[in-house]
Chains A and B, each alone.
Chain A
């Protein structure tokens, strides 16, 4: 257990936005500047706490929960206020606090109609509570509460500030997620009673002996959790809410949705579903992998059919989250490390793409790619940024996207012991084809939007290029995309031990993939070794498949 300030810092990271929210509510609606400043100060302070955690985190023991606090919360149901971060939650927590600040900065002069600065920023603050809280919760009920808190603010953000079809999109988003989380809650309760130790504590449940629970019941419980998380991710075939929600949401809403909210689902898999029910995870893994690769291909094909730039990026999210889920489905340390990396990378890259889509819309009042073109001539900076992010998104080596995608594909070449290798290698081939498609649709979008000459209707318009607020909001993300791309060890080093602890729980897991990963933990910040250190036999056929596809 942490003491002193360390015992408070996670609580502060989560609940500082509530204080800011209260202040914002007290300020009269017309004092817009003051409201913006208070919100920014709150989110910066929150980020400060998150950075404190990042700085003082003990990187030698990333598998251990740090800054841990456990206090009685709801005694009658044995639920505790148990919080803490390990190597997996830390990057997510920091990402969440970080992206929120950038969203507030971006909002500075990009308020969507119907304006109402006060309500908009209040919702962002409320959203941040839910997002940050989910990543620190170590109790199923606490997790559930935070997981649900994000629903209402996002619902309002889409419904009030969204596009023409906002009513439909917002309720669809809401009901899909609620449906999943209702079943997820039932699964949580079932695991509570079935393990026989009457606790909602996540570490305790992971450690608990689950042999009392028959395999069939485990499968059903896992199924409940699966629905809750898979809808949030979203995996095919539960993804249909996502393109609607993204398309209609205001820019900042889309960014937060893509960067953080989707990660709540994948994070739930890694934090809760896999370690608590490892045996069921094993039985489910081929199906998860199947849905993941279907998502990759379906998302890619969906992208190719879009005319709306934002909707295209939304479908690309389906594909990218497919890679994350594919990595998870391998049930290997290699795959799950890749998944966590993919979560962060996708958060940064797709978040950036949505920012750009928002600015394009702000400038041209349309996102129809057939009406756009020549961004590079009219607003060259924005055009180059779009190019950079597209490259990152399609997985160009040297940028962050590569390290989420490529190892995830690689990991299923040798899935965890006991999983059908032939099936997973088939998935690998399909996923590799997906990367080609990804290059296809992203370059297609880039070509439509950035290349060529401006369309006639915009010829005489003066187009604003990237402004100050945009630079402040975007630059940190762009830098991170580059830094994580060049030095992926920064992330892998943090997650590796924590991931290995999870993987250990899988029955009779082969040690090979874990072993092959060990050098990385020691000198993981060297990008060069990262690539070559994997088991040579793993790589060679993988790469040939890759190029073959």
Chain B
């Protein structure tokens, strides 16, 4: 950090940060366009936003084909394969979210320009997060991701549940940021560094001190809130249920992934050499998130709440490779570390595709039924077979049933923990195995409603708008292609994990 400050004119490779520049430009254009455009053309802002996201994505692709770029800003900002893969993921997830939002927001009498403005700001934070290799950059990125989502969660401002959910989310977010920052300050105090690589170099040589343990513990605690890991998950169902459904999709995929990427950065690049301080915390967090998330999901009757608990459980599955990393680091196995990182990335990518797809189906169905109850899906197969089959594919994928992409995510997760091995590793593997069976029950509960139950009286087929159809096509395509040819995501994640060396 200090190195960055001392050089008055740091070298900035503008091409390397062109995705972020494109996003900032779009953010401003959206804001200005919203002022200029008449009310009835306000939906045009969605078009601007989506074009901006695609332009940013194109820049990511351009950079990917360039030679490697050295970290910038005193090593706090890395543009490597790891960062690029995750940026690409965030941008695609956001593009799909915009597709989900277009009709929902336009039909629902919401402020449109501001909606896309907030969404893009949050994405900007995510793209920065992918590159953040410094505690301060990381924290700023995390706040840039979170603050717009506090507003978005309360976007249904005449709905009390939306307000309640947003306030809960905001308060929890603020507290967790404070806790995290406190933990980070202790780490800074002990190591004298904010750069993760520098922290990593020092942390292994530090004596085992209670302060260090507390610092690591508190910063992980902050992330536990962000990724809604048990026992800090209880805001998620209320917030998810209250928020507009496209925002819920965004929160449960992109924003959650943002938290996970922050955690990847700090755990893999910063705390890697002191696994004894944190692996058990993550092990317990993973086991609890999977088990309690699933058990709570079993009892839900509202599909959004069910998916909220399911996302807690899926988060637990994503924590498993972190625990594997910790276990492997205890005996210094670099291959396991790479495998664990690859597994988290694969899981994030796959989870993004299938969860967004599930939400796209829910939005499509809810446009007609105006209900979020699982029972409102009864007999869907009889009048809307196509959307039923798609929803079934997404749910089966979430349950990890081949040949849909979810199996590969679960597989790499199991792989990482079994590779780490030992009694702790195998135990967590078995816990995850049992949990994937429990999860199948509630996912199939929805499938059962759609296929086996008689239709309600109102048997008009569900109409899918163009934008929703496009988002469904993207998600179904990814879930099917990756399910049959997992190398598509596997190779990307493998390339990303190479940054561990």
Contact = CB atoms under 8 A, between A and B. Distances in A.
A167 interface: yes
B402 A144 contact: yes
Nearest to B497: A76
A189 B452 contact: no
Contact of B494 (A76, A151, A160, A179): A76
B433 A171 contact: no
Given A148-B402, A149-B403, A186 B494 contact: no
Given A76-B493, A160-B452, A175-B441, A186 B433 contact: yes
Interface string A445-471: 000000000000000000000000000
Contacts of A175: 437, 440-441
Contacts of B396: 152
B411 interface: yes
Interface string B427-467: 00110011011001100100010011000000000000000
Contacts of B412: 77
A151 B402 CA distance: 9
Contacts, number: 92
A76 B411 contact: no
A302 B310 CA distance: 40
Contacts of A76: 342, 486-487, 490-491, 493-494
B32 to A, nearest CB: 45
A289 interface: no
Interface string A176-218: 0011001101100110110000000000000000000000000
Majority DSSP secondary structure for residues of A touching B = helix
Interface stretch (B137-145, B281-289, B300-308, B415-423): B415-423
Nearest to B494: A76
B433 A74 contact: no
A108 B402 CA distance: 30
A152 B395 CA distance: 11
A167 B451 CA distance: 10
In this complex, which of B402, B414, B419, B440 has the most chain A Cβ atoms within 10 angstroms of its Cβ? B402
A174 B402 CA distance: 13
A155 interface: yes
B407 interface: yes
Interface in B381-403: 381, 385, 392, 396, 399, 401-403
A190 B402 CA distance: 20
B434 A182 contact: yes
B433 A185 contact: yes
B352 to A, nearest CB: 19
Given A74-B487, A75-B491, A171-B441, A179 B434 contact: yes
A190 B411 CA distance: 12
A170 B440 CA distance: 13
Contacts of A75: 487, 490-491
A193 B421 contact: yes
A434 interface: no
B448 A167 contact: yes
Contact of B403 (A73, A145, A178): A145
A310 interface: no
Interface string A135-156: 0000001001100110110011
Interface in A59-104: 73-77
Contacts of B408: 74
A186 B430 CA distance: 8
A178 B490 contact: no
Given A148-B402, A159-B448, A183 B494 contact: no
A77 B490 contact: yes
A166 interface: yes
Given A76-B490, A76-B494, A185-B411, A193 B419 contact: yes
Contacts of B444: 155, 171, 174
Given A76-B493, A182-B434, A183-B430, A193 B402 contact: no
A194 to B, nearest CB: 8
B415 A182 contact: no
B440 A148 contact: no
A415 B488 CA distance: 48
Contacts of A141: 411
Given A144-B402, A148-B401, A149-B402, A167 B437 contact: no
Interface string A111-143: 000000001000000000000000000000100
Contact of B452 (A119, A145, A166): A166
B343 to A, nearest CB: 10
A445 B493 CA distance: 59
A142 to B, nearest CB: 10
A74 B486 contact: yes
A189 B414 contact: yes
A94 to B, nearest CB: 24
Contacts of B451: 156, 159-160
A77 B448 contact: no
Contacts of A186: 414, 418, 426, 429-430, 433
B69 to A, nearest CB: 25
A121 B491 CA distance: 36
B342 to A, nearest CB: 7
Nearest to B451: A160
11 contacts: A74-B408, A74-B485, A75-B487, A77-B490, A148-B407, A152-B401, A170-B448, A186-B414, A186-B433, A192-B418, A193-B418
Interface of B: 342, 381, 385, 392, 396, 399, 401-403, 407-408, 411-412, 414-415, 418-419, 421, 426, 429-430, 433-434, 436-437, 440-441, 444, 448, 451-452, 485-487, 490-491, 493-494
Interface of A: 73-77, 119, 141, 144-145, 148-149, 151-152, 155-156, 159-160, 166-167, 170-171, 174-175, 178-179, 182-183, 185-186, 189-190, 192-193
Given A148-B407, A174-B440, A183-B430, 10 more contacts: A76-B490, A77-B486, A149-B402, A152-B401, A171-B441, A175-B441, A178-B437, A182-B434, A186-B414, A192-B418
5 closest Cβ contacts across the A-B interface? A182-B433, A76-B490, A189-B418, A145-B402, A148-B402
